[in-house]
Chain A
Amino acid sequence: AQRVTQPEKLLSVFKGAPVELKCNYSYSGSPELFWYVQYSRQRLQLLLRHISRESIKGFTADLNKGETSFHLKKPFAQEEDSAMYYCALPRNTGANSKLTFGKGITLSVRP
């Protein structure tokens, strides 16, 4: 079964420090992976997806098929990056793209 693992629940860093939020997956085939962000008491928002290879708000994520990872990175954290982050991938390869989410990680950026 397709599975997403976010091994850490909390990451606390100082402003300006590098950030890496880990995501590992199990998937048969070529996965489509997403990162979502949820700021305090707000709706989840799509941060980025690997197929578009975008960089949003300074975040990037590279798919590593050898390590089955899709870690989210930012070289210099900002206080406004403090939020909950979820990694997600489709449950199957069909048109109905039900996403399965990791348990999420809270990023806290201290001044």
Chain B
Amino acid sequence: DAGITQSPRHKVTETGTPVTLRCHQTENHRYMYWYRQDPGHGLRLIHYSYGVKDTDKGEVSDGYSVSRSKTEDFLLTLESATSSQTSVYFCAISGGTGQGYTFGSGTRLTVV
């Protein structure tokens, strides 16, 4: 078990609806990240967190918000889903520089 789980694994939603994706870790790592994976773009950082209630924007944060009220949970919210947010979303955790990331299994989100 990688110590990190994402839910849901798949979701189809309609344009304009809010969507929340959940990332849960059991490793007690300080750092958590949300990335989106798109063909031709690789992985792009959406938001990240370096502790409870400490979050910051990544390179593609428009239209997304995050919250981290507990060490183990990092939530990603699409305020009003758009078709351009159709993607695979990965959560990752890290204990710090040099340790690399452990990734979740991903959430495949389709906005119709």
Interface, chain A (partner B; CB < 8 A): 6, 9, 32, 34, 36, 42-46, 49, 51, 86, 90, 93-104
B103 touches A44 (CB 8 A): yes
Interface residue? B96 (CB, 8 A): yes
B43 neighbours in A (Cβ, 8 Å): 44, 86, 101, 104
Chain B: interface residue count, which band? 20 to 34
B58 neighbours in A (Cβ, 8 Å): 98
B31 touches A97 (CB 8 A): yes
What's the Cα separation between A4 and B15 when bound, in Å? 33
B44 neighbours in A (Cβ, 8 Å): 101
B101 touches A51 (CB 8 A): no
Between A43, A86, A90, A94, the greatest number of chain B beta carbons within 10 A of the residue's beta carbon is seen for A43
B40 neighbours in A (Cβ, 8 Å): 9, 103
Q: How far is the CB of B29 from chain A (nearest CB, A)?
A: 11
